[in-house]
């Protein structure tokens, strides 16, 4: 009785080289010295090839999902300043933390008591149906590539957003 499963097989032995006959009829030894037999190159099974194909397809799909797509021209122009108001205006950490405590639907004057003139005014956007939102941008003092965007609807504070510049 064998202790090994049918799956286990002994390595294949390659046949030893036989002497070859020369055209003149004499036996000659093989011209190359004997060396260790080299195993035949293994071919991938269909299952292994299928797994490899599925894995590489999933990797390619993940790369497409993770890679950010180039934004449309419309959204790029919407982030551009329509009017530069105060070129030296930045938002400090303290002002940012105070602004985050302001309740929605507070007046624009309440927000302006915390933060002064914006760096620039962005193009208006439609947040809800029939309501245009004014947007003002403030670069962060500690990260000038990031802008804090304040939204106003009909003169009331409607919220905020961050714009990450590259």
Query: Token match 């064998």: residue?
Result: 2
Q: What is the pLDDT of residue 72?
A: 42
Confidence category of residue 8, pLDDT binned at 50, 70, 90 = low
DSSP state of 53: H
Collect all residues with Cβ–Cβ distance below 8 Å to 62 and sequence separation of at least 6.
none
The residue ranking higher by pLDDT, 88 or 51, is 88
pLDDT higher than threshold 90 for residue 136: yes
Can you give the residue ranges of every domain in the chain?
73-164
Q: What is the pLDDT of residue 35?
A: 63
| Global pTM exceeds 0.75 | no
Collect all residues with Cβ–Cβ distance below 8 Å to 98 and sequence separation of at least 6.
114
Q: What is the pLDDT of residue 6?
A: 56
Calpha distance 112→162 (Å, rounded) = 18
**CA-to-CA dists, residue 65 to 62, 76, 164, angstroms:** 5, 21, 20
Q: What is the pLDDT of residues 14-58, one digit of tens each?
A: 666 666 666 776 766 655 555 667 776 666 677 787 777 777 777
CATH class (in words) of the domain with range 73-164: alpha beta
pLDDT higher than threshold 60 for residue 63: yes
pLDDT higher than threshold 80 for residue 153: yes
The answer to whether 91 and 122 have CB atoms below 8 angstroms apart is no
Secondary structure class of 158 (helix, strand, coil): strand
The four Cα atoms 116, 121, 127, 129 give a dihedral, to 10 degrees, of 120
Q: What percent of the chain has pLDDT over 90?
A: 32
pLDDT higher than threshold 70 for residue 13: no
User: 107-138 burial, b for 16+ CB within 10 Å, e for fewer?
Assistant: eeeebeebbeebbbebebeeeeeeeebbbbbb
Q: How do strand 156-164 and strand 120-128 relate by DSSP bridges?
A: unpaired
Secondary structure class of 3 (helix, strand, coil): coil
Q: What is the pLDDT of residues 103-135, one digit of tens each?
A: 999 999 999 999 989 999 999 888 777 788 899
């Amino acid at each position: 009785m064998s202790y090994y499963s049918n799956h286990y097989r002994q390595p294949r032995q390659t046949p030893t080289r036989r002497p070859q006959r020369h055209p003149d009829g004499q036996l000659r030894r093989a011209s190359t010295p004997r060396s260790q037999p080299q195993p035949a190159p293994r071919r991938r099974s269909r299952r292994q090839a299928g797994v490899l194909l599925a894995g590489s397809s999933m990797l390619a799909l993940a790369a497409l999902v993770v890679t950010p797509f180039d934004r449309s021209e419309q959204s790029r122009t919407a982030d551009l300043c329509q009017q530069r108001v105060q070129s030296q205006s930045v938002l400090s950490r303290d002002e940012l933390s105070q602004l985050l405590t302001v309740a929605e639907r507070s007046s624009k004057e309440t927000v302006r008591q915390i933060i002064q003139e914006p760096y620039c005014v962005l193009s208006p956007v439609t947040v809800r149906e029939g309501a245009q939102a004014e947007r003002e941008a403030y670069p962060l003092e500690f990260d000038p590539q990031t802008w804090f965007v304040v939204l106003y609807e009909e003169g009331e504070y409607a919220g905020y957003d961050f714009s990450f510049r590259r």
